[in-house]
Structure 1
Amino acid sequence: MFKLSLPALFALVLGSSTAWGCNSNPPAQAQNPDIGYVDVNSDITLRRMVVHTASPKGTVLLLHGFPETLCAWKDLSLALSAEYEVHAIDWPGYGFSSRPLADKFSYSPKDYARVLQEYIKKANIAPSMLTIYATDIGALPALLLALEDPQIARTIIVGDFAPFNRPQYMHDRLQSLKSEPSATATLAAYKNRTGGEILDTALRGGLPKEAQFEVSADFKDDVSRGWNHGGMTSADAFYYYYSNFTRDEDYLEANIGRLKTPVKVVWGEKDIYIKKEMGIEFAQKINADISLLPDIGHYPHLQSPKQVIEEIRASFR
């Protein structure tokens, strides 16, 4: 049973059903997603989703990107739950997780790595049986954690993110977030739009009309309702993340030789936000396998979940 902190209870009282989104009916053979809250430290309460199974072969932890919430993983989690226990969280600043002031929590990749470590411990997940699948803003924290604790997972699968400071491989909007004054101007542009509008634009990015895809109404609604939660928008959290991003990219690259946790790279070949060349360079530097998914953009887990499920299953073989 989930322990509800005061912030979580407060959220429930004030419109509580919004905090329990992405709960549409699962397939008959699947377990219901268990969505609730867990305190990982005195400042951070995470909303999490767990899908249990009777005899799991292992545990999968799914880490979302921008502008997503844990609801991005609902269908994929239900499919995997036939074999594995599946966890997903809202990062601080997203969905209905905590949003401390930036002077208490920097929203940097290093801070997210600490939250990830605390969650794995609090959830009593056995690292030796854990595969982490991390995309976009979720990937660098997972790798930073692996530098400090090589046994944190049996495998980490990462993709469609920026491990190194290579602005030439990044979309202009993401480049602009790396430094001032362009970062503040980009944040202002984000804040003139709703979370739902930003999500719709992001999902279409770079894909021809015939390759564009839809996501569930539950997911869209969850992003919209959680966008401005606790006095901070998810765009603010993204801005703060990027204000420390170059520092943490440089740290990873300087210490890449210490990365001992097995890593697999999965990348959308048509990703316009973080070009595939970034993934290829990263895979070469760590001597890892890379799967380039043809005709797939920045969100493989949403555009082609079957391929992502197969990559996760392969990590347990």
Structure 2
Amino acid sequence: MSHRINDSAIDFFQINEDIALRRMVLRNPGRKGTVLFLHGFPETLYAWKDIAAALADDYDVHAFDWPGYGLSSRPAVDRFSYSPKDYAHILDQYIVKTGIDTSRLTIYATDIGALPALLLAVEKPDIARTIIVGDFAPFDRPQFMYESLQGLKAGPAMDQIRANMNRNRDEILANTFTRGLPKEAQFEVTEEFRDDMSRGWSQGAMTTVDAFSHYYSYFTRDQDRFESQLARLKTPVKVVWGEKDLYIKKEMGAEFAERVHAELAILPGIGHFPHLQDPKQTVDEVRASFR
């Protein structure tokens, strides 16, 4: 049985004077634990809606829009850098201020959400019982990344790629999730989710792409810091990766899993968004983390 999620499950949570996060919370008085989902680009918390509903019979489930995404705040860059390190701080504040029991918490983080969770875990090893990560770039290995992502990290192409992405909103929302997959593996996201991404794309002077490019401008710095601190990562980690990920190749996941001695699951026929392409697999991964 799964829950229907209505508007009462979605509200805003004030992190500090500059940032309010739009979040979704499903509460279960008899919970076996808590799950916190962290989305990637160009997603919003609606990416997790069906998965959250499927887990709500047993767990408290949280998800939020990162600053710069969906309907969460978008402070000016002199107030908030949108770097992985700054996102890690937001994640820490959210967990502390909501009073989540971290000894019974699984964090499931994908794409841009994964490095902030791991940066936080380096500083606070007890931040979660388990962290499940995948389809992200823990280390500075441009050769494993899609060409436009390499260009966003540094150099003269950065501003041009950002401008092109801002012009191509509709194409990004239509094709990002299935790009590179064979026709038989392609899938549809819900109209509600697509509408939410479109509605939240631009707020004030900042677009989702702008937030993404700010993140990338600090990406190499924070990747290098994480790699240098790898020995301090003590939180149990599982790595889940789409075999057909076009954006960040599975070799990145294999290196990370080997270096932190984590279990690695390569998902056959799956691309960059396992939770959208095969949500049941994501539900199963979360349930397994509590056993």
TM-score greater than 0.5 by the shorter chain: yes
1:202 aligned residue = 176
Preserved contact between residue 30 and residue 82 of structure 1 (Cα < 8 Å): no
Deviation at 1:28, TM superposition (A): 6.8
Aligned residue in 2 for 1:221: 195
Q: Write the distance in 2 (CA, Å) between the matches of 1:231 and 1:153.
A: 35
What is the distance in 2 between the residues matched to 1:31 and 1:101? 32
Give the drift of 1:35.
0.2
- Look up the match of 1:92: 67
Q: Is the 8 A contact 2:107 2:132 kept in 1?
A: yes
Normalising by structure 1, we get a TM-score of: 0.90
Match for residue 282 of structure 1? 256
Segment drifting more, 200-209 vs 294-303:
200-209
Asked if 1 retains the 8 angstrom alpha-carbon contact of 2:3 and 2:53, the reply is: no
1:185 matched to 2:160: yes
The answer to whether structure 1 residue 271 and structure 2 residue 276 are counterparts is: no
With normalisation by structure 2, the TM-score equals 0.97
Match of 1:39 in 2: 14
Assess if the C-alpha contact under 8 Å between 2:237 and 2:262 holds in 1. yes
The separation in 1 between residues aligned to 2:164 and 2:68, in whole angstroms, is 18
Task: Map 1:96-135 to 2 at 5 A.
Answer: 96-135=71-110
Shift of 1:46: 0.3
Cα displacement (A) at 1:204: 1.5
1:145 pairs with 117, 120, 139, which one?
120
Match of 2:279 in 1: 305
Alignment deviations for residues 128-149 of structure 1 (CA, whole Å, 9 cap, x no partner): 0100000000000000000110
Contact in 1 for aligned 2:83/2:219 (Cα 8 Å): yes
For residue 269 of structure 2, what is the aligned residue in structure 1?
Answer: 295
Q: State the aligned residue count.
A: 290
Corresponding position: 1:49 with 2:28: no
The question of whether the paired residues in 1 share the 8 Å contact of 2:2 and 2:54 is answered with: no
8 Å CA contact 1:68–1:199 kept in 2: the answer is no
- State whether residues 139 and 158 of structure 1, in contact with CA within 8 Å, keep that contact through their aligned partners in structure 2: yes
> Residue type matched to 1:99 in 2?
R
Query: Distance between the aligned counterparts of 2:24 and 2:144, measured in 1?
Result: 33
Task: Return the letter of the residue paired with 1:68.
Answer: E
Unaligned runs of 5+ in 1: 1-26
Q: CA deviation at 1:231?
A: 2.0
Provide, for residues 90-128 of structure 1, a one-character-per-residue CA deviation record: whole Å limited to 9, x for no partner: 000000000001111000000000000000112111100
Counterparts of 2:36 and 2:82, CA distance in 1: 20
Deviation at 1:54, TM superposition (A): 3.0
8 A Cα contact 2:245 2:272, kept in partner: yes
Equivalent position amino acid for 1:164 in 2:
F
Kindly indicate whether the alpha-carbon contact (under 8 Å) linking 1:109 and 1:140 is maintained by their aligned counterparts in 2: yes
Cα 1:28–1:154, aligned 2, differ >3 Å: closer, same or farther? closer
Q: Displacement of 1:31 after TM fit?
A: 5.7
Which residue does 1:254 correspond to in 2? 228
* Residue 208 (structure 2) pairs with residue 234 (structure 1): yes
Letter in 1 for 2:138: P
1:188 aligned partner, one-letter code: A
Q: Distance in 2 between matches of 1:68 and 1:214?
A: 14
SS at match of 1:134: strand
**Partner residue of 1:171 out of 130, 133, 146:** 146
